[in-house]
Amino acid sequence: MLILKLITVPFFILILSLAGKKWGTQLVGNLAGLPVVTGPIVCFLILDQGIDFGYKASISAIYGCISIMVFGLVYCWACQHRRYISCLIVAILAWLITSYLVSLLPTNLTLACGLTIVCIAFMPKLLPPIFHKKPLPQTLKDLPFRLIVGGLLSFLTIISADQLGSVWGGILSSFPINSLVLTSFTHRTFGDEYVVPIYRGLAKGIYSFVAYFALQALLIHTMSLWQVTLLSIFASIMVQVIIQKWQLLQRSNSNA
């Protein structure tokens, strides 16, 4: 189980990094919205702590999307003028403050989904504009470092979430490991103009994250964990497919 916990996140960071090299940063942002990190972490927590813990953690993970959005918003504005280390520091501080505030909210699935969806909908309006649409340079020299950092962050997150209860367990499980690694390494290697498209993509793709945990919270007391997980994965993928088709339709209409 420990080995599985250690390799899950680096594997998905590898997939996302290769996808970014081939198809661009905005698609990576879409795919980063899939619960490829938080989903497995919450599953591990349910196996360790039980169903009731998992129900509350799932709702807290939905609230955690708000913290992810704030992290990205702060990073995107900071990277216009600052180096990646400074951007990471202020973005993580913003994530911590937002996470504390959402931890005070009631454990209510309807409230969590409604408030989170409203925040996600407003995210693109608050991001900096994209002035350059250059293709991402075809190099991934820093890929081993991305995988190592992602694995370490994942392990630390799982340990912390396991010790801090269901509310903070869910919030910590949604710590933006994928986006932190992808944006900071992209910023450091290629420059700030490649960062904002990641979060514009994430603002669309993260609806699949909400779908996953909303369905998991709804079904977790009535079905087995593996049935719930499979259905939640299916729902998340279907939302992602709808997002991709909608974006293709938008592009075709804009080119018409």
97: its two tokens: 């403050």
Nearest residue to 6 (alpha-carbon basis) of 103, 147, 163: 147
Per-residue pLDDT, 153: 62
Per-residue pLDDT, 39: 78
Per-residue pLDDT, 111: 95
CA distance 177 to 126: 22
Per-residue pLDDT, 213: 93
Q: By the 8 A CB rule, do 195 and 86 touch?
A: no
| pLDDT one digit per residue (tens) for the chain, 256 residues | 556 556 666 666 666 666 555 555 556 656 666 777 777 778 877 887 888 888 988 999 899 999 989 998 999 899 888 888 898 899 999 999 999 999 999 999 999 999 999 998 888 888 888 655 555 555 555 556 556 665 666 666 666 666 667 777 777 777 777 677 777 777 877 777 778 888 887 888 788 889 999 999 999 999 888 899 899 988 888 888 887 777 677 666 666 5
CA distance 172 to 67: 10
Q: By the 8 A CB rule, do 173 and 41 touch?
A: yes
Per-residue pLDDT, 93: 94
Per-residue pLDDT, 192: 76
Nearest residue to 199 (alpha-carbon basis) of 256, 125, 139, 134: 125
Per-residue pLDDT, 173: 72
Per-residue pLDDT, 96: 92
Per-residue pLDDT, 211: 92
CA distance 247 to 241: 10
Per-residue pLDDT, 186: 76
Per-domain residue ranges of the chain: 2-255
Please state whether the predicted TM-score (pTM) of the whole model is above 0.85: no
Task: Spell out the residues 6+ positions from residue 62 whose beta carbon is closer than 8 angstroms to its own.
Answer: 109, 112, 113, 116, 170, 209, 210, 213, 214, 217
